[in-house]
Amino acid sequence: MPLDFIALALAVIHFGTPLTYYFYLKNKYLSKPWNINADENYKPKVTIIIPTYNEAKLIEKKLNNIYKQKYPRDKLEVIVVDSASTDGTPKLIKKWADKHSELNLKLIVESERKGKAHALNHALEYATGEIVIITDVDSLWPSETITKTLKWFADPTVGAVSCLKKPVGSKVKEVEESYRQYYNILRIAESKAYATPIFHGELAAFRRNLLKKLGGFPIDIGADDSHTATKIALIRYRAIIPENLWVEELVPNKGYSRWRIRRAQHLIQHFAKCLRELRQAPKGFRKILAIETFLHLANPYLLLVSTILLIASTLTTHSLTALGILALGVALLIVKQYRTWIIQQLYLIVASLRNIWTKEIAWSKQVK
């Protein structure tokens, strides 16, 4: 019986924490005003940094997409930083730039690949914009995106802004839709409360002076965007994901699980690095950071331990309670949200184990 009891308690914490957190944030903050003086007429100089590694297939589409942005061209600077691509990406960029000389584009070619964050820091040395926006090649922006991003920076309390993601590609499953909704509401509600510790490389905008102050992007972990946003929140600036700032993200059609696991690895590295900073977090941000850290680092293991205890209890003491809970846990897999949640927990567990032998700072390219 005590074994069953412990297992049940762990399961209740595992499912209860995120649900409580979600409903608490949603009810308390989602419909609250931002308390930010956004201004669509605020048009500072902006630097867009595009890191590339073997992006020959998509880079022209990405550059065309940036080209179509409705933003004063004299205030727009684009820096593409390539790290030793072997598929001719830099050549395609040069060719594109020659045909579009009215766009201020600079290409930096690194002779050795040392990872995305390293490349971003390299590009930062040349950036002159007040705001720097990082964007992955495999993401596409609606044409108003720069304006919709920069308006938040009109308020000096805002240090960083990121986007919501609309996944596109053959692998996009309906299953994820409901999970995405849960995920997006958390990002927006956390942002309204103070800041969100999870940013997206499809569009991650930062004040350049703050990036300088922080010494650039961290090169020892994978989630450079989320970690930098969190650091900015830790020095008391808002790091937000507003509603309605949507961008498209291409999802790989091969190696989907590998991709999800690598991303989970990066997030875990980010939250593990945050542990040390928790105590000095500003009041409105401390709870958010603490709970997200718990959800990414510890919570998946509660589910794992609970399951193991239930199996052990069923096998050793033939506990009907344990068997009943296990059966319920399996039966619920027909519910989409629940299934997506369980899969995400598995990704996090595999990712945390994988982190022991590889950090995936320079990862292999997934076909998109």
Partners of residue 207 on adjacent β-strands: 131
Q: Which residue in the set 106, 166, 263, 354 belongs to the binding site for ligand GDP (CB under 6 A)?
A: 263
d(CA 187, CA 204): 14
Place of tokens 């950071």: 289
DSSP secondary structure letter of residue 164: E
Phi and psi based region of residue 103 (left: phi greater than 0; alpha: psi -120 to 50; beta: remaining): beta
By CB under 6 A, residue 52 contacts ligand GDP: yes
At residue 210, the 3 state secondary structure works out as helix
Nearer to ligand GDP, 115 or 216 (CB): 115
By CB under 6 A, residue 138 contacts ligand GDP: yes
By CB under 6 A, residue 216 contacts ligand GDP: no
Among Mn ion, ligand GDP, none, partner that 77 touches (CB below 5 to 8 angstroms by kind) = none
Helices vs strands, H then E, count in the chain: 13, 10
Pull the structure tokens for residue 273: 């690095």
Partners of residue 166 on adjacent β-strands: 248
Binding string, residues 62-101; x marks residues near ligand GDP by CB under 6 A? -------------------xxx------------------
* Phi, psi (degrees; rounded to nearest 5) at 126: -105, -10
Among 52-60, 157-165, 280-288, 320-328, the segment contacting ligand GDP (CB under 6 A): 52-60
Q: Which residue in the set 57, 75, 106, 113 belongs to the binding site for ligand GDP (CB under 6 A)?
A: 113
By CB under 6 A, residue 201 contacts ligand GDP: yes
**Minimum CB separation from ligand GDP for residue 82, in Å?**
6
Cross-sheet strand order for the sheet of 246-250: 139-140, 246-250, 164-168
Nearer to Mn ion, 83 or 306 (CB): 83
Interface residues toward ligand GDP, by CB under 6 A = 51-53, 55, 81-83, 113, 115-116, 119, 136-138, 201, 259, 263, 362, 365
